[in-house]
Amino acid sequence: MDQHMQNVLFVPIQPFIWNPTACFMVASGFGLMLLLSFSQAQMQQRPWIWGFLIPVMAWVAYGWYEGEMRRQSINTRIDLLFLAPLLYLVTLVGVGLWISAWMRERR
């Protein structure tokens, strides 16, 4: 794979490579939204809270994984071709669940 193609593929995930702190910051943002929502309602009464919980779990898991990659100094990151789209998809699904449930609740 040439250098230009690698740059195009890894640009969206680049800020998070070997940087578990950035992953945990994203998870903290979703976690804060979860806590703010949870303080207003119970989980059974507000199913859209799961829309925040799913991305929190995904980003925490990815942050842990990046910490392990950094600790082991692994430079070959072919795994990101699979993990980055999966992480973004899980995040979008979580946000989509939140929006969908919130819209149904507002009716």
* pLDDT tens for the chain, residues 1 to 107: 566 766 666 677 778 887 889 889 999 988 888 777 665 555 556 666 777 888 999 999 999 998 998 889 887 778 888 888 899 899 998 888 888 877 777 77
pLDDT at 1: 54
Is the separation of the CB atoms in 21 and 71 below 8 Å? no
Amino acid at 56: V
pLDDT at 59: 92
pLDDT at 95: 86
pLDDT at 63: 93
pLDDT at 65: 92
- Answering whether pTM is above 0.85, one says no
The backbone torsions φ and ψ at residue 72, rounded to the nearest 5 degrees and listed phi first, read -90, 0
- Give the Cα separation of 59 and 28 in Å (integer): 9
- Give the Cα separation of 43 and 69 in Å (integer): 35
**Residue corresponding to tokens 């991305």:** 55
